[in-house]
Amino acid sequence: MARRALTAGSLAAALSLALVGCSNGEETSPDPAAPPPADQTVEEAPTSDPAEEGEPVTVPDVIGLDGRDAEDALDEAGITEFEYRSVDPEDDIIVAPGNWVVDETDPEAGTEITAEDTVTLQVSKLEESTEPSS
């Protein structure tokens, strides 16, 4: 048994030496925090978020959309501040926005707001929606 442990230890040591021997001393992956080389230009993506630029944004029409799609539409419009409110006071915990449908917004669609304004999404469970189905 002692011989087997010695063999396993020798194998581990040999493997460690082999791995160290494969390294040429140069770093193989770039440091993500390091600045780019001088001969490389880095282009920053232009910001397209009007809310960041202080411009007014228009509340999109999200009535009838599920919560997840409504979030996407608000984000595309440059609106990042929003909250959900259930129309049913007994079912007011909204965990999965995709299971809820927007029945009303405050402010209404088409209203111009600033980045600091919050849009409230009045939602109901998909099967309880007050919106007529298409």
At residue 2, the pLDDT reads: 43
Would 29 be classed as within a structural domain? no
Q: Which domain holds residue 67?
A: 57-128
Q: What's the pLDDT at 90?
A: 87
46 belongs to a structural domain: no
Looking at residue 92, its pLDDT comes to 81
CB atoms within 10 A of CB 70: 26
Please tell me the predicted confidence (pLDDT) of residue 8.
Answer: 52
Contact in structure between 59 and 32 (CB atoms under 8 Å): no
pLDDT at position 116 is: 77
Number of structural domains (the chain) is: 1
Distance CA 105, CA 60 (A): 10
Q: What CATH code is carried by the domain that includes residue 84?
A: 3.30.10.20
> pTM score, two decimals?
0.56
Q: pLDDT tens, position by position, for the chain (134 residues)? A: 444 444 555 555 555 555 555 555 555 555 656 665 555 544 554 455 545 556 899 999 999 999 999 999 999 999 999 999 999 988 888 889 999 999 999 999 999 998 779 999 999 998 755 555 55
Tell me the C-alpha to C-alpha distance, in Å, between residue 37 and each of 45, 98, 109: 19, 45, 48
